[in-house]
Amino acid sequence: MSRVYLQVALPVPLAQVFDYSIPASFSHTPHIGARIKVPFGKRELIGVIIGVTETPESPLDKIKPARQLIDEHSLFPPQLMQLLTWAAQYYHYPIGEVFSTALPTLLRQGEDLYDNPIHWRLTPVGLQITADTLSRSAKQQAAWQALEPHQSHGISEDFLKKVQIERATLQALAKKGFAEEFGQLAIQTGTPQLKYAESPLVANESQTTAIHAITEHLGQFKSFLLDGVTGSGKTEVYLQSIASCLANHQQALVLVPEIGLTPQTVARFRSRFAVEIVMLHSGLTDRERLRAWRRAYLGHAAIVIGTRSTLFTPMPHLGLIIVDEEHDLSFKQQDNFRYNARDLAILRAQLANCPVVLGSATPSLESLANAKTGRYQHLFLKERAANVSQPTIKLIDLRGQKLQAGLTSALKDAIATRLKKDEQVIIFLNRRGFAPVLLCHDCGWQAKCPRCDAKITLHRNPLRLHCHHCGFSQQPPNFCPECNSKELKAIGAGTVRVEEALQELFPKVPIHRIDRDSTQRKDSWHNLYADIENNKAAILVGTQMLAKGHHFPNVTLVALLEADSGLFGADFRASERVAQLITQVAGRAGRAHKAGLVLLQSHQPEHPLLQQLLSTGYQGFAELALAEREMIGMPPYGYLALVRAEAHYPEMALNFLTEAMSRGQVLDNAPEFWGPIPAPMEKKAGIFRAHLLLKSSQRRRLQQFLHRWLTIVNDLPEAKRLRWHIDVDPQELA
Among 33, 228, 355, 638, binds ligand ADP (CB under 6 A): 228
- Binding region for ligand ADP (CB under 6 A) out of 99-107, 122-130, 229-237, 604-612: 229-237
Residue 44 or 487: the one with the smaller Cβ distance to Zn ion is 487
By CB under 6 A, tell whether 251 contacts ligand ADP. no
Question: How far is residue 709's CA from residue 722's CA, in Å, rounded to a whole number?
Answer: 18
Question: How far is residue 52's CA from residue 44's CA, in Å, rounded to a whole number?
Answer: 20
Residue 80 or 211: the one with the smaller Cβ distance to ligand ADP is 211
Q: Residue 541, exposed/middle/buried by CB under 10 A (0-12, 13-18, 19+)? A: buried
472's contact among Zn ion, ligand ADP, none, with CB below 5 to 8 A by partner kind, is: Zn ion
By CB under 6 A, tell whether 230 contacts ligand ADP. yes
* Number of residues this chain uses to bind ligand ADP (CB under 6 A): 16
Question: How far is residue 364's CA from residue 424's CA, in Å, rounded to a whole number?
Answer: 30
Tallying the residues shown for the chain, one arrives at 734
By CB under 6 A, tell whether 617 contacts ligand ADP. no
Residue 483 or 491: the one with the smaller Cβ distance to Zn ion is 483
Residue 484 or 527: the one with the smaller Cβ distance to Zn ion is 484
Interface with ligand ADP in residues 381-410 (CB under 6 A): 385-386
207's contact among ligand ADP, Zn ion, none, with CB below 5 to 8 A by partner kind, is: ligand ADP
The DSSP line for 101-112 is: HHS-HHHHTT--
Binding mask 140-169 for ligand ADP (x = CB under 6 A): ------------------------------
Q: Residue 708, exposed/middle/buried by CB under 10 A (0-12, 13-18, 19+)? A: middle
Question: How far is residue 657's CA from residue 691's CA, in Å, rounded to a whole number?
Answer: 8
Distances (CA, A) of 10 to 5, 50, 89, 570: 15, 10, 15, 38
Question: How far is residue 75's CA from residue 83's CA, in Å, rounded to a whole number?
Answer: 14
By CB under 5 A, tell whether 482 contacts Zn ion. yes
Interface with Zn ion in residues 122-141 (CB under 5 A): none
Among 33, 154, 233, 494, binds ligand ADP (CB under 6 A): 233
CB 129 within 8 A of CB 158: no
**Pairing assessment for the beta strands 155-156 and 119-122 based on DSSP bridges:** antiparallel
Interface with Zn ion in residues 429-468 (CB under 5 A): 440, 442-443, 445, 449, 451-452, 467
Q: How far is the CB of 357 from ligand ADP (least distance, A)?
A: 12
* Residue 143 CB neighbour total at 10 angstroms: 26
Interface with ligand ADP in residues 529-558 (CB under 6 A): 551
Question: How far is residue 57's CA from residue 52's CA, in Å, rounded to a whole number?
Answer: 12
CB 252 within 8 A of CB 279: no
By CB under 6 A, tell whether 206 contacts ligand ADP. no
By CB under 5 A, tell whether 267 contacts Zn ion. no
Residue 262 or 401: the one with the smaller Cβ distance to ligand ADP is 262
By CB under 6 A, tell whether 212 contacts ligand ADP. no
CB 169 within 8 A of CB 141: no
694's contact among ligand ADP, Zn ion, none, with CB below 5 to 8 A by partner kind, is: none
* Residue 532 CB neighbour total at 10 angstroms: 20
Residue 152 or 475: the one with the smaller Cβ distance to Zn ion is 475
List beta partners, residue 704: none
Residue 208 or 446: the one with the smaller Cβ distance to ligand ADP is 208
Distances (CA, A) of 40 to 11, 18, 578: 11, 9, 49
**Pairing assessment for the beta strands 457-459 and 555-560 based on DSSP bridges:** unpaired
Q: Within 13 Å and on the Cβ side, how many CA atoms surround 318?
A: 31
Residue 211 or 502: the one with the smaller Cβ distance to ligand ADP is 211
By CB under 6 A, tell whether 266 contacts ligand ADP. no
By CB under 5 A, tell whether 292 contacts Zn ion. no
By CB under 6 A, tell whether 223 contacts ligand ADP. no
* Site residues (vs ligand ADP, CB under 6 A): 201-204, 207, 228, 230-236, 385-386, 551
